[in-house]
Amino acid sequence: MKSTVISGAGLGFRRELIPALKAGLPDAVSFFEMAPENWAGMGGSSARDLRLFTERYPFVCHGLSLNLGGPSPLDESLLQRIKSFMRQHDISLYTEHLSWCGDDGHLYELLPIPLTHDAVRWVADRIRRTQDILGMQIGVENASYYIAPPGAEMTESEFIRAVVEEADCLLHLDVNNIVVNSINHGFNADDYLHALPLERTCYIHVAGHHVESDGLVIDTHGADVIDPVWQLLAKAYALCGAVPTCLERDFNFPELGVLGREVEKIATLQAQYEMHKNKIQRAVA
């Protein structure tokens, strides 16, 4: 019987990977992540493939379209479908982007939220309603962005902390997004990491990105993870512990063994943190 506890290193569950995953799972993969909008209500062979894995491995639901920061009413019918889907597959963690992605319709883009006190109250209220419907705390993810909204009344890290505290939710930490934003907007990634409410971290993402010819960094999830992201992940573990961490890869898929080695890198960094922590505990005892 599978465990429902999410721990260790995970991999994004993508249809393109299913044939290879059926042939053999990389040893380092402890859980999978999926977007519930892409699977809820699915029938046929896709539903059978999903059930094959959810019966054996823990899964995390990471939403793409809840639109937590948007101006339109919260999509409570979507939340009810997600709740039913999570119960059906025995999934205990749901996270979403701290961004907005719709108004009259879905915009297919994750847009930044104005860093204002009014926005804190607006978003926190929507998160609390989400948690009431799902019957659980959710994690909200620091998102990548390419333009900063005007009228900021606080820094982004202060905004995230204020939202998380007012909503009484959890933090989904994306270290790749920090690196991407730090390059594009010229801030120190380490300082930003330290300013986040890391004590509430429930989940972490790592991913690869693309650099345009003019130096703009695009959060694509379509390339290998680079050293600065791995380094920031190790620093995050030192600050918040070896939190469950997922490798995101959405396209340009290499062989499964290559992805397995990146997941193994996550597991290795987690093990190194645990060894260091145990060494300190023995020295203090």
283, pLDDT greater than 90: no
State phi, psi for 238 to the nearest 5 degrees. -60, -25
Four-point Cα dihedral 22, 27, 31, 36, nearest 10: -30
Q: The tokens of 250 are what? A: 């959405």
- Does 144 map to a domain? yes
Per-residue pLDDT, 281: 85
Each residue of 137-195: pLDDT tens digit?
Answer: 999 999 999 988 889 999 999 999 999 999 999 999 999 999 999 999 999 999 999 99
- Does 59 map to a domain? yes
Per-residue pLDDT, 161: 98
Instruction: Return d(Cα 133, Cα 53) in angstroms, integer.
Output: 26
Q: Which residue has the higher pLDDT, 56 or 3?
A: 56
Each residue of 78-131: pLDDT tens digit?
Answer: 999 999 999 999 999 999 999 987 565 554 568 899 999 999 999 999 999 999
pLDDT band at 48 (very low <50, low <70, confident <90, very high): very high
- Give the number of domains in the chain: 1
Instruction: Find the domain containing 208 and state its range.
Output: 9-284
Angle in degrees, 0-180, between the axes of helices 156-167 and 117-134, rounded to the nearest 10: 40
- Ranges of beta strands (E only) in the chain are 9-12, 29-34, 59-62, 94-97, 100-102, 106-111, 139-141, 170-174, 201-207, 210-211, 217-218, 245-248
Supply the CATH number for residue 201's domain. Answer: 3.20.20.150
- Does 69 map to a domain? yes
% of the chain surpassing 90 pLDDT = 84
- Does 1 map to a domain? no
Q: Which residue has the higher pLDDT, 40 or 164?
A: 164
- Does 112 map to a domain? yes
Per-residue pLDDT, 102: 53
Per-residue pLDDT, 1: 56
Per-residue pLDDT, 3: 67
- Does 2 map to a domain? no
Mean pLDDT of 217-232: 95
